[in-house]
Amino acid sequence: GQLSGQASGDILGKNAAGISILHDQYGAFAETEFVASYASRIQVGEKTNLRLGAGLNYRSVRLDGNSMTTEQADDPVVGQYFGSFSNMQVMDFNLGIALTHPSYYVSYAVHHVNQGAINSGDVFMERIPRVGIFQAGYRNRLNDNLALATNFLYRSQSDLPDNVEFNMKVVLKEKFWLGAGHRIDYANNFQFGLLFDKMRIGYIYEMPTLKSYLLPNVTHEFMLTYALFGDRRGMIW
């Protein structure tokens, strides 16, 4: 949510705070992640801003030894928990910087800066590799009711192939968006969403490509965002 400050264009305040919750399940692993984040804005032009942010990350991972995939059962570390249950908690933090404008943005973030060194419970995962994420986007307003938004993402992680993603959205009256995207060698996706006064709801349907081996199945992603402060909608990217 955005905190106090004067609004101009896409500027909703000098400070912002947020909370995000993610739950994911694959094979033997059920993971729940909480991220509390804070960002501050420095105005460097009439409509251009530099934003600096940090997030505190808490992750709880449950290992169900009765639900292992063949690959997980053959892993020398994870396989020892076959037929049993285990839990692990990890505390870490993220850092990010972004240059934003009503028509474009460029950002870079590093996740798991401490590589999961602060942990408790059964350590069935080695150090979590740092993740670098570069993003950029451009938004073109065609008229009062129609806009196009394009986005690019590059993700690097030491134990996985680099990931490059493109997507495009058609935004109608700043209330509804419909889009499609492609992750090179991974998947194609289709997405839509609704924007209310203080709430944003979205859905992504992703289908793996024939070349994909890290994303074997269709995935469904649901998003819900709620603004804690103010009554501005923000912008759809």
Instruction: Return the DSSP state at 184.
Output: T
Encoded amino acid at 77, one letter: V
The pLDDT score that the predictor gives to residue 73 is 73
- What is the rounded distance in angstroms from the CA atom of residue 50 to the CA atom of residue 57? 23
Please report, rounded to a whole number, the percentage of residues in the chain having pLDDT higher than 70: 88
**pLDDT level of residue 229 (50, 70, 90 thresholds):** low
- What is the rounded distance in angstroms from the CA atom of residue 157 to the CA atom of residue 173? 37
The rounded mean pLDDT for the chain is 86
pLDDT tens digit sequence for 116-139? 889 998 877 778 899 999 999 999
- What is the rounded distance in angstroms from the CA atom of residue 232 to the CA atom of residue 138? 21
Encoded amino acid at 131, one letter: V
The pLDDT score that the predictor gives to residue 54 is 97
The pLDDT score that the predictor gives to residue 186 is 86
Contact 182, 165 (CB under 8 A): yes
**H-helix or E-strand containing 110?**
strand 104-111
**pLDDT level of residue 235 (50, 70, 90 thresholds):** low
Q: What count of Cα atoms within 13 Å lies in the side-chain half-sphere of residue 36?
A: 3
Q: How far is CA 213 from CA 62, 78, 160, 184, 200, in A?
A: 24, 20, 12, 12, 32
Which of 178 and 215 is assigned the larger pLDDT? 178
> If you average pLDDT over residues 55-77, what whole number do you get?
84
The pLDDT score that the predictor gives to residue 214 is 65
**DSSP string for residues in 42-66:** EE-SSS-EEEEEEEEEEEEEEEETT
The answer to whether residue 201 scores a pLDDT higher than 50 is yes
**pLDDT level of residue 143 (50, 70, 90 thresholds):** very high
Dig out the tokens for 148 from the structure: 């196009």
The pLDDT score that the predictor gives to residue 9 is 40
Q: Is 72 helix (H, G, I), strand (E, B) or coil?
A: helix
- Which residues contact residue 213 at a Cβ distance below 8 angstroms, ignoring those fewer than 6 apart? none
The pLDDT score that the predictor gives to residue 212 is 64
pLDDT tens digit sequence for 108-117? 999 999 998 8
- What is the rounded distance in angstroms from the CA atom of residue 220 to the CA atom of residue 229? 29
The pLDDT score that the predictor gives to residue 97 is 97
What's the pTM value of the predicted model, to 2 decimals? 0.78
Which of 16 and 78 is assigned the larger pLDDT? 16
The answer to whether residue 72 scores a pLDDT higher than 80 is no
Dig out the tokens for 154 from the structure: 């590059």
